[in-house]
Amino acid sequence: MGLPIFKKRIGIDLGTAYTLVYVKGKGIVLNEPSVISVYKNSNRVVDVGRGAKKMIGRAPYYIDVIRPLRYGVISELSYAVLMLKEFLERADVKPGFFSSLETIVCVPSAVSTVDKKAVLDLSYELGSRKAFLIAEPIAAAIGAGMEIFEAIGSFIMDIGGGTSESAIISLGGLVVNEITSVAGDRMNEEIIRFFKSEYKILIGEQMAESIKINLGIVENPTEKFFAKGRDLVTGLPKGIEISASEIRVALLPLVDEIVRVLKETLVKANPEILSDISERGLVLSGGGSLIKGLDTYIRDKLEIPVIFAPDPLFSVINGIATVFKDLSKYLSVLTQMES
């Protein structure tokens, strides 16, 4: 009789903006911003997650604050590994001597082989024996409770911080999928650019995100937000009241790019699938989809029903949790690599 091996199954939604960790038998044990801060000279971790996010734009010169993912891909692999190791430690997840770790990590569906390899390398760095990848829109669709194995077209778009991905899924596979880097982060950047060009005020990333979340893309000249930044002419602090209508004008070109991607997806689908979709509509998931006014804007442009996934911020991790409950059923939607 050999030594008992306890399998630890861990799901990771390694998002550009947020990282979520699921442990089978425990549930979701971590939900933190994908940010790490380190001492510049030693690379020792100062903080990760919420604490590190607060340091963006505020850290002393000897601390680096890093977002290891950009536009849905790992841009700083070593920091992504460091961040995840710290997250797993905080969530009390250690592979241990007598247990073997199995991981499922979600990646954007259009990710390159090099990026896939980076995520798999990362999984092994964490101590995985078996590492699976799952495409983000498929995980989101499963998490949203869509019947992906039926011979019916399911239409989903996940709008995160770094990517917006649309997919039509039928019979357990991607029939059509499209991706754009226009998502939450690009909207924040656009708001920063707008303040610079219109008001000669420099605002920070976190201020831009607050403006986006508070005002959205609704047509409402009376709804306002008091934004604070630095006057680019005098160099001094300056505040200004901005209306929802102004932010709408600034963000609409980006929203239209998301609509274009959705249309492109529909154009590529065949008529049977289109008739399924005109009945069942589009399901939205991901934090970026929560921007006020987006669902009605898309509904007007596409003329199909638009509904939200039950827990838009948790769709991907809930999907991974469902996969772990019945691995053999979902094996065909996973990419597997064994160490």
The dihedral sign for the CA sequence 178, 182, 184, 185: positive
| 8 Å CB contact between 134 and 174 | no
Q: Which region among 158-166, 183-191, 222-230, 258-266 touches Mg ion (by CB under 5 A)?
A: 158-166
> Does 229 help bind ligand ATP (rule: CB under 6 A)?
no
Inter-residue contact 56 to 65 (CB < 8 Å): yes
Which of 52, 298, 309, 313 is close enough to bind ligand ATP by CB under 6 A? 313
Nearer to ligand ATP, 158 or 276 (CB): 158
How far apart are alpha carbons 30 and 32 in whole angstroms? 6
319 binds ligand ATP (CB under 6 A): no
User: Interface with ligand ATP includes 143 (CB under 6 A)?
Assistant: no
Residue 317 interacting entry, from ligand ATP, Mg ion, none, C-beta within 5 to 8 Å by type: none
Q: Which of 182, 183, 203, 306 binds ligand ATP (CB under 6 A)?
A: 183
| Closer Cβ to ligand ATP, 174 or 274, answer by number | 174
Select from 37, 123, 163, 177 the one that contacts ligand ATP (CB under 6 A).
163
Footprint (CB under 6 A) of ligand ATP, residues 286-305 = 286-288, 290-291
137 contacts Mg ion (rule: CB under 5 A): no
d(CA 54, CA 240) in angstroms, rounded, equals 23
Q: DSSP states of 260-310 as a string?
A: HHHHHHHHHS-HHHHHHHHHH-EEEESGGGGSTTHHHHHHHHH-S-EEE-S
226-264: burial string, b at 16+ Cβ within 10 Å, e else: ebebeeeeeeeebeeebebbbbbebbeebbeebbebbee
Q: Could you tell me the smallest distance in angstroms from the CB atom of residue 13 to Mg ion? A: 6
Closest residue by beta carbon to Mg ion? 160
Which partner in Mg ion, ligand ATP, none is near 183 (CB below 5 to 8 A by kind)? Answer: ligand ATP
**Interaction residues for Mg ion, span 12-31 (CB under 5 A):** 15
Considering only residues 17-76, where is the footprint of ligand ATP by CB under 6 A?
Answer: 17-18, 72
- Report yes or no: 313 and 288 within 8 Å, Cβ to Cβ: no
How far apart are alpha carbons 203 and 212 in whole angstroms? 13
**Could you tell me the smallest distance in angstroms from the CB atom of residue 248 to ligand ATP?**
13
Tokens representing 153 are: 């077209």
Position 249 contacts ligand ATP (CB under 6 A): no
In the complex with ligand ATP, which residue's Cβ is closer, 51 or 95? 51
Does 160 sit near Mg ion (CB under 5 A)? yes
State how beta strands 69-70 and 73-74 pair: antiparallel
List of residues contacting ligand ATP (CB under 6 A): 15-18, 72, 136, 160-163, 183-185, 209, 212-213, 286-288, 290-291, 313
